[in-house]
Amino acid sequence: MPTFNLAELAQPEALSLLKGIRRGIEKESLRVTPEGELAQTDHPRGLGSALTHDCITTDFAEALLEFITPPVATPEQALEKLDQIHRFTYSQMGDERLWVNSMPGRIGRDADIPVARYGSSHSGTMKTIYRLGLGLRYGRAMQTIAGIHYNFSLPDDFWQWLQAKEGSTESLQDFKTRRYFDLIRNFRRHYWLLIYLFGAAPAVCGTFVQNRQHNLQSFDGDGRSLYTPDATSLRMGDLGYTSDAQKSLVVCYNDLRSYLITLCSAISLPYPPYHELGVKDADGEYQQLSTGLLQIENEFYSPIRPKNPAGMGETALSALDARGVEYIEVRCLDLNPFVPLGIEAPQMRFLDAFLLHCLLSDSPQTDEADYRAVQENQARIVYRGRDPELQLIHNGSERKLTAWATELLDEISPMADLLDQAWQGHDYQRAVSVQRDKIAGKIPTPAAQVLAEMHEHGQTFFQWAKAKAEQHRQYFLERPLDATEQAEFERLAQESLQKQRDVEAADKGSFEDFLGRYYAQYVFCQRAL
């Protein structure tokens, strides 16, 4: 429940502060051939440098594009920018397509999946070696899975108002950081709801799990498509961004210092299985950055991250240590294959209300038992989330998902009312109402809709997903940018290529020296171990 009287937030002065919320989108999409196979081509040069471009880069695989919007005032502004990026990208891709599902189609052998490349600079080389390490540790197939990250922040004048209401004497930076960690703990308690409501990956092409252990069933009787009947998001299960090695890691979210120390120890201390592999292969070439449980902090696959923009060569943990939390990144969202951009405004509005609820509700500190309960709830919701009888762990006991979800929506609804008052509309409450209908079974979840369409059309997952990719490709090709917009994107691409050349020319010393300086930044945590 809220930690203070929400009526205070309903005052005109406070409502105006809520309009300062900023949100941004990071959307991953896999490049594929017209036949739906994984693209083997390099990152299109016309898109610019994946190392230095502000809004078009690559994620783990060379074919996995990542589109980044700046932080903006409304969902519509973010979606407009994302739409422009898609339209420009299609102008530079030839006959390739963007795969619109989180789970990939036919990707071939693991060894044939190219990792992302970023040029010859020390920083670019480090990014590529990091990805080689991911492939070594977890397999490269995982690197073809796509998702949406949602960045969320509140303005400093809101934090100043809240700090005054709570009577805090901390510095503004310390107050913001502490309260963002309150938000994060509540998010971790409740993000299973987002996987249920927005999970859109209940099935996968059978080729994706060749030579891998799994507990999936055949959807079509011949194993071409695999699923579980009540699945929500296989991306968030053990086929995706989870690992047995990381299950031993318990990250503390009670405060920034604890978070930094637990992650830093996972980076700094050798992990025997990875130590045995070695940093370099038999030919003396780098195959991973280090032998720690984590090569860098980004390897920790969390559904939410505290963030502060890091400069080139600066670690993410150093940025947090120096400047505190500036925004949070939600990382548990699948691509929505039913909309061309993978996300739409009502979902973003629900996320805003959900995150505001996480911030303004009581958020007790947690221990290892709580951490394990979150992991267990994630596993249950991934594979059995749409079972109407499913029970989740709640305050140490079992509770029916539908009852808990209904209670959460009741608590989120006042946050939607506040945001509607701030914007003088009804869109936020409408967004919550849609989610109520999903819980009540009045409308299908995206995961249920995927399976229903596959069944209705008699299609395998690959056939169905390929058709969606074609449909969305036509949507963007029929709406090319105007000449001015196209020229601006082309300018940004050329500018990024020049920036990459400048970075490469500015390198000093050896790569080993560069890597040593990078890892030396973790000393601030090592002293506290």
Question: Can you give the pLDDT at residue 525?
Answer: 60
Return d(Cα 77, Cα 525) in angstroms, integer: 39
* 225 DSSP β-pair partners: 205
pTM reported for the whole predicted model: 0.96
Per-run averaged pLDDT (10 residues), the chain, 529 residues: 74 94 98 96 98 97 97 98 98 97 94 95 97 94 94 98 96 98 98 98 92 87 93 91 76 95 91 95 97 95 95 91 97 98 98 98 95 95 96 96 98 98 97 98 97 96 98 98 98 98 96 95 65
Return d(Cα 114, Cα 30) in angstroms, integer: 12
Question: Can you give the pLDDT at residue 28?
Answer: 98
Tokens of 161: 């108002």
Per the listing, tokens 């949070």 go with 328
Return d(Cα 520, Cα 264) in angstroms, integer: 11
Give the DSSP letter string of 298-348: GGS--SEEEE-PPPTT--HHHHHHHH---EEEEEEEPP-TTSTTS--HHHH
